[in-house]
Structure formats: C-alpha cells, structure tokens
C-alpha cells in the first residue's frame, strides 16, 4: 500500500489518502517513478492530477456534444465516421 497526498482546495493543506495496490501495480508504479527520478508519492500525485485533467477535458467535450444536440445541431452517421477516421489518422501519425 502507498499513501498519496492530495490538497483539497477548501482546506489548503495536504492530507494523505491510502491507496491499496497489488504487488504488480506497485512494482510498475515504483519503476515508473524511478525512471522519472521521482518519489512514488510525487509520481502518484502527478499521475492522478493528469488523469483528473483528462477526465475534466473529456467531460467538457461530451457536454459540448450534448449541448449541441439539445440545440438541434446534429451530424450524420457518415460525418461522424469521417470525424473518427480523421482522429484515428491523426493519432497514428503522431
């Protein structure tokens, strides 16, 4: 088990929240932290912060789609498939 700190904005202080990891995941996290020359706690903080940012970005993106649909701004199945294909190609090129 590792203890990860987080800073609730309404307290402005760090609290520790224990997270239980199986041995394989703990070893993988420790190796990743070592590769980045970071403590396991700092690595966990950065990973959780980045995952939280990505989730917020995804939620905003989904909400944009819902709002667009609510306004009647819809696209066809063909346009959606073309959009996904363009994203797939863009990701493959990176």
Backbone angles phi, psi at 83, to 5 degrees: -65, -45
The per-residue pLDDT for range 50-80, each reduced to its tens digit, is 999 999 999 999 999 999 999 999 999 999 9
Distance of CA 76 to the CA centre of its chain: 29
Q: What is the pTM of this model?
A: 0.63
State pLDDT tens for residues 21-43: 899 999 999 999 999 999 998 99
């Amino acid at each position: 088990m590792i203890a990860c700190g987080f800073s609730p904005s309404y307290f402005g202080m760090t609290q520790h929240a224990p997270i239980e990891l199986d041995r394989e995941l703990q070893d993988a996290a420790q190796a990743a932290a070592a590769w980045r020359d970071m403590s396991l706690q700092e690595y966990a903080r950065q990973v959780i912060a980045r995952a939280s940012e990505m989730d917020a970005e995804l939620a905003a993106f989904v909400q944009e789609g819902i709002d667009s649909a609510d306004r009647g701004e819809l696209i066809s199945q063909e346009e959606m498939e073309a959009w996904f294909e363009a994203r797939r190609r863009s990701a493959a090129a990176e």
